[in-house]
Structure 1
Amino acid sequence: MATYWDPFQEMDRLFGSLTTSRNAPGMPMDLFRDGDHYVLAADLPGIDPGSIDVSCEDRTLTIRAERTPRSGEGQWLLRERPSGTVARQLTLGRGLALDQISASYADGVLTLTIPVAEDAKPRRIEVSHRSDREEIEAGTS
């Protein structure tokens, strides 16, 4: 069996591992508002759905998941997929219904739906007014 070794590819890999930011998130996510709720979509490819833990305590949302390393006999030729625990924490603002957060996991994406609390939703306030004639009649009575 012939083994191919490219020294330039190896140098690129080593240089890339040195220049990659250590603070780069292991769980990229999108967050957007859709009407009266927020939607958070977090990429978790290759994660066992049973290992996903989502919790909310005192306005801090924590997402934690485990990617198990591939086991088996053999020699690794390339290993770029990280394994282990990935976690993200977000501080949520006021005005959200934290007790009504829902979560689903499909196709490697964890989706959280975070509703806006009823008392934080915009509402129209009616302004009452009395006509000058009503005030005069009320004042003469």
Structure 2
Amino acid sequence: MLRFDPFSELDVVAQGLLAAGRETGSARSPRFMPMDLYQVDDHYVLTADLPGADPGSIDVDVENGVLTLTGRRTAMPDSGVRWLTSERFSGVYRRQLTLGDSIDTAGIAARYDNGVLTVTIPIAERAKPRRIVVEQGSDEPQCEQLAVESSATDDDARVDVAG
């Protein structure tokens, strides 16, 4: 008895569509840009792997609270080359992260070294934890007493502070 799997046809179509977008010379493409994100004191540190990316092709942008990392690795020219195997990705790496309101976007800095992009993301001053000093009050009221005098017309109204 033959079993029919309607999803197997969809898998074949999906794989074909995904393969059509690859550049020449690449047998596979990464699903995402691998990264680590951690907090140190008053800032976050994001490290992302961009092996073989041209440093001039790397962009770090912030727009509407979204941090976008983009880099490009160009393939070796095909002219005069007979490929035996090609497994290294070439093309565009891209990753987006939504930033919260507690980030100082003007202070974000980035550095690319040995295939790793490091982005420092500072926490905004207003979002940093702080201790609120609670003052002890006295038993006496802290407001001033006001005495209001008025005459028959509103134009002559005056306020005197008695204290």
The alignment yields a C-alpha RMSD, in angstroms, of 2.2
Q: CA deviation at 1:94?
A: 1.2
Whichever residue aligns with residue 93 of structure 1, its letter is: G
Q: Residue 75 of structure 1 aligns with which residue? A: 82
Q: Residue 38 of structure 1 aligns with which residue? A: 44
Within a 5 Å distance, the mapping from 1:42-81 to structure 2 comes to 42-71=48-77, 72-81=79-88
Taking structure 1 as reference, are residues 23 and 47 closer, same or farther at Cα in structure 2, changes over 3 Å only? closer
Q: Residue 139 of structure 2 aligns with which residue? A: 135
Q: Residue 14 of structure 1 aligns with which residue? A: none
User: Structure 1 segments of 4 or more deviating over 2 A?
Assistant: none
Q: CA deviation at 1:135?
A: 2.0
Number of aligned residues? 115
Q: CA deviation at 1:63?
A: 0.8
Deviations 1:44-101 (A, max 9, x none): 0100000001100010111111110111422111100011111111111111100110
Indicate yes or no: 2:101 matched with 1:97: no
Q: Residue 111 of structure 1 aligns with which residue? A: 118
Taking structure 1 as reference, are residues 42 and 74 closer, same or farther at Cα in structure 2, changes over 3 Å only? same
More helix by share: 1
5+ residue gaps, structure 1:
1-16
Indicate yes or no: 2:92 matched with 1:85: yes
User: Secondary structure of 2:139's partner?
Assistant: helix
| TM-score normalised by structure 1 residue count | 0.75
5+ residue gaps, structure 2:
1-14, 17-28, 143-163
Q: Residue 34 of structure 2 aligns with which residue? A: 28
Q: Residue 125 of structure 1 aligns with which residue? A: 132
Q: CA deviation at 1:23?
A: 7.8
Distance 2:105 2:54 in 1: 25
Q: Residue 6 of structure 2 aligns with which residue? A: none
